[in-house]
Structure 1
Amino acid sequence: MLDEIVDVYSSAYGEVTGEDRGVKSSAFRDRATGALDANNYELVAARADGLIVGFIFGYSLRPEREWWKGLTPEPPVGFAAETGDRTVVLAEIEVRREWQGRGVGRALHDAFLGGRSEERGTLAANPAATSTHALYEGWGWVKMGTVPGRPGSYYPEYVRFVLPLPLQNLPR
C-alpha cells in the first residue's frame, strides 16, 4: 500500500512552485515508513473503483517525543504531560486533488478519530497554510500555538492543534 499512499500524497499537493515533488514525496515515504513502528499506529483509507482516493494515519504520542517542546504561547500547567496513551497524533490526512471538496477528508477524519481511545488528538500544520487551518478549525480543532521545527524539518516552525476526544457533536 505504501506506493499507493505516496501517489495519493503527491496528488494531494500537486505542483508547488519552487518545490521538488520528488524530494517531498521521498521525505513523505520515509515518514510513513517510520510511523509503522509507532505505538497504536492506525491507517484508514478510502477507495473508489479500487483506487485509494484518500488516507489518514496516526498513532499514540510517546512522552519522549517532546511534541509540545517550545510551544508558544506557553500552555496551561499539565497540558504538555504525555503518558503514551493520552494523545493521538493525526500524522497525515491526504486526499487526491480530484477528490478534494467531496467530504472524503472529513469522512476519513471522523472514521479514524471515532475509533480512538485517547482523550485528545493533535496535529501539526504549516504556519502559512491558513486555508487548511480554517478547515481544521471548522472540524472543531483548536489552535494551541507554534513550536520550532527540529533540525531537518520541512518548515522552520509548525502550528499545533488539539481536539478533545471522543468525537461528539462536531460542526459539519
Structure 2
Amino acid sequence: MSVEIRYYGEVAGRVRDDLLEVYADVRAPLSHLANYSVEAFAERLDRSAGEAGFGLVLGYEDGVVVGYACGNRVGAGDRYWGRMAEPLPEGFADEPVLALREIGVRAGWRGTGVARRIHDGLLAGRGESRVTLMVNPLAGGGKVLAVYEGWGYRAFNSQAATADSPRLVVMVRER
C-alpha cells in the first residue's frame, strides 16, 4: 500500500468534507450513539480546529482518504484537564502537550501500519514534548487500547469526555 500522508493546519472546504466522509465510514458501526454521530464529531472538530496548535493529517491512497488524525495543543488552564477523574500530578500540565483528539482508519487499511504512519505524521515537527489521548477501553474488544500501549502510551487517568460518552482511559507518552 502506498499511502500519502498530508498535514493540514486548518480544516476548510474539501479537506473538511473529506475528513467528515472518512469519519462517517470509520465510525459507521457506532453512529447510532450520539457521541459518535457525524454531527457530534463536526462540532468537536470545529471547536478543536479553532484552538491553538491545531493539526490534521489525512492519509490518501489513489486520491481516496483512507484515514485521519487530528489534535491540538493544550496547556495548564485548558478545560481538557478539568474533567479528569483524578487530580493531575504536580506540574503535569505546566508544559503544553499535544492532545490527539481523533484517529481513524478505514477497515481495508487497518492492520497495515497506516494508522501508525498517520499518527506519526501528526506528531512530526511538533514542539510539544508529550502527547496525550483518550480511548474507550472497550473499543475493538480492548485491541485499540493495546495498539496505543504498543506505540508507547501508558494510562495515567480517566474521564468521561461528554455526558454521552463512556468513561475513557487517558493515556500519555513522551514524543
TM-score range, shorter chain: 0.7 to 0.9
Cα offset for 1:73? 4.8
Q: CA deviation at 1:30?
A: 1.4
| Distance change >3 Å, CA 51–CA 126, structure 1 → 2 | same
Give, as a single letter, the amino acid of the residue that structure 1 aligns with 2:149: E
CA contact (8 A) 2:135 2:169 kept: yes
User: Match of 2:152?
Assistant: 140
Summarize the alignment of residues 1-172 of structure 1 with structure 2, pairs less than 5 Å apart.
1-16=15-30, 19=32, 24-69=37-82, 71-79=84-92, 81-83=93-95, 86-129=96-139, 130-150=142-162, 153-165=163-175
Separation in 2, partners of 1:155, 1:120 = 25
Query: CA offset at residue 69 of structure 1?
Result: 3.2
More helix by share: 2
Residues 77 and 23 of structure 1, relative CA distance in 2, 3 Å threshold: closer
Which runs of 5 or more structure 1 residues have no equivalent in the other structure? Answer: 166-172
Whole-Å separation in 1 of the counterparts to 2:57 and 2:27: 19
CA distance in 1, matches of 2:109, 2:84: 34
Aligned equivalents of 1:23, 1:107: Cα separation in 2: 24
Amino acid at match of 1:144: F
Q: Could you say what secondary structure the match of 2:77 adopts?
A: helix
Q: Distance in 2 between matches of 1:41 and 1:4?
A: 17
Q: Secondary structure at the match of 1:39?
A: coil
The percent identity for this pair of structures is 31
Q: What is the DSSP-based 3-state SS (H/G/I as helix, E as strand, rest coil) of the residue aligned with 1:68?
A: helix
8 Å Cα contact 2:58/2:65 also seen in 1: yes
Cα RMSD after superposing both structures: 2.3
Following the alignment from structure 2 to structure 1, what is the Cα–Cα distance between the partners of residues 160 and 29?
26
Are residues 64 and 76 of structure 1, via their aligned partners in 2, closer, same or farther at CA, if it must alter by over 3 Å? closer
Q: Is the 8 A contact 1:61 1:82 kept in 2?
A: no
Q: Secondary structure of 2:22's match?
A: helix
C-alpha deviation, 1:96, in angstroms? 1.2
Question: CA distance change for structure 1 residues 148 and 110 in 2, over 3 Å: closer, same or farther?
Answer: same
Whole-angstrom distance in 1 between the partners of 2:102 and 2:118 = 11
Aligned to 1:170: none
AA partner of residue 25 (structure 1): V
Shift of 1:162: 0.4
Distance 2:33 2:169 in 1: 23
The residue identity in structure 2 corresponding to 1:140 is G
Structure 2 residue ranges without an equivalent (≥5): 1-14
